[in-house]
Amino acid sequence: MTYVFTEADITTEAQRLRDQSAALDPLTARLLRSAGLEPGMRVLDIGCGVGSVTALAAEAVAPGGHVIGIDRSDEAVAGARALLGDSNDVEFRVADANELDGIEKGFDAVIGRMVLVHVPDPVAVLRTAADHVRPGGVICMHEPDMTYAWTGRPTPLWNHVRDGILASFDHVGAHSRLGRNLFSVFRDAGLSDPEQIMEAPVGGGSSSPAFGWANAYAALRPLMESVGIDIDETVPTEGLTEALDADAAAHSGTVIGPLMYGAWTRVPG
């Protein structure tokens, strides 16, 4: 994996993911409904992190469904299990999305959010995931493109935060524009052309999603310092959300979260 937030503190990273979910979960819930998740389905959530998408899938397939969330991090799985618990509806396991060793096949659906962006070979991971779906079942991925302007009126502060985050993704080989390439990833994995939607968290003032970018910058700051990515020492990590919001508000600017591309198709049988 090329997970860009590896150097972040485990507790802090878990909180960052929970905060991120507040902005992204409504988008993912709509995607899962569009992709055809319904009661009674058996679902595999790859790269589950703190379990937010696992929980959304469990809601979509209740009653009678079952969702398995997998992550390569023991800490992430333990945290997701502590937050949601194992039950007849949800369980968590330690496994790597690159291989899915030890994970049974025949799921009605395999899903993932912000997974392919962090793997060396997205096509191979998608192909492996599809191999765990029954004929006629669904494969559905939700991936970002972060290479657009993050505010309606860019400023030096916003440009610095954006440049630092994108440079960190580039440094570890993560795919910061994976979302816009999902169509070709599905094709290259041997799947049928996917249906797609694209949404983003967006707002200004009290509805600004600036907290997501601030949290990402703070989590990546240790990486930036260790590899020599340019840092403006006047940019705080504490209070950065407020600084970004104030900067955007001063210019009457809209704040745009990651452009989230959803793609889904059925596995041929």
What type of residue is 83? L
Which strand (E) or helix (H) includes residue 250?
helix 240-250
According to the model, what pLDDT value does residue 95 have? 97
According to the model, what pLDDT value does residue 251 have? 87
Tens digits of residue pLDDT in 30-63: 999 999 999 999 999 999 998 999 999 999 999 9
Q: What angle do CA 18, 19, 22 make, to 5 degrees?
A: 95
- In 3-state terms, what secondary structure has residue 244? helix
Are 13 and 80 contacting, i.e. CB atoms less than 8 angstroms apart? no
Tens digits of residue pLDDT in 211-233: 999 999 999 999 999 999 988 88
> What average pLDDT does this structure show over 241-268?
94
E strand spans, 55-191: 66-71, 90-94, 107-113, 133-145
User: How deeply is 202 buried, as exposed, middle or buried, from its count of CB atoms within 10 A (0-12, 13-18, 19+)?
Assistant: middle
Query: How many Å apart are CA 65 and CA 40, to the nearest integer?
Result: 4
- In 3-state terms, what secondary structure has residue 84? helix
